[in-house]
Amino acid sequence: MISFYGCGLFQGTGSDFTIRITGSEGLTFSGHYAIVVGDSLPDPINVRGTAPAEYKGKGVIAVCFFRKLTEQGTIKVEIVKDGKTVSESETSIPNGFVSMKTPLPEKNMIIAQLLRKLLGGE
């Protein structure tokens, strides 16, 4: 989705993110995620897997969308930033989905202003 990487303005900054998928044992899912890291818009990373699973990266914010590939069971998704869960959601709806992002950085930061224009404000 979005990446701010390369020009030097944001290099070396960011937090450690983990996107954790849990839920019903053996639940299959598909989806995508992106972690904002620098100064360009990245393509989302497409994934397909079986719970539990984790995806890691370093950046400013994380966004994701995951869908159950089954009618039964529950999918739970957490976004962990620097060891602390900052966003979480789950669904048991047949073939249901979870979509979320981490909170945007402080409003007075330049990157926050850019991200609010691109992602919609909070």
DSSP string, 39-102: EE-PPPEEEEEESSEEEEEEESEEEEEEEESSSSS-EEEEEEETTEEEEEEEE-STT-EEEEEP
Q: What is the pLDDT of residue 73?
A: 97
Are 21 and 76 in contact by the 8 Å Cβ rule? The answer is yes
pTM for this model (two decimals) = 0.76
* Residue 109 per-residue DSSP state: S
Q: What is the pLDDT of residue 91?
A: 97
Per-residue pLDDT of 29-81, as tens digits, reads 999 999 987 666 678 999 999 999 999 999 888 999 999 999 999 999 999 99
Which one-letter amino acid corresponds to residue 92? S
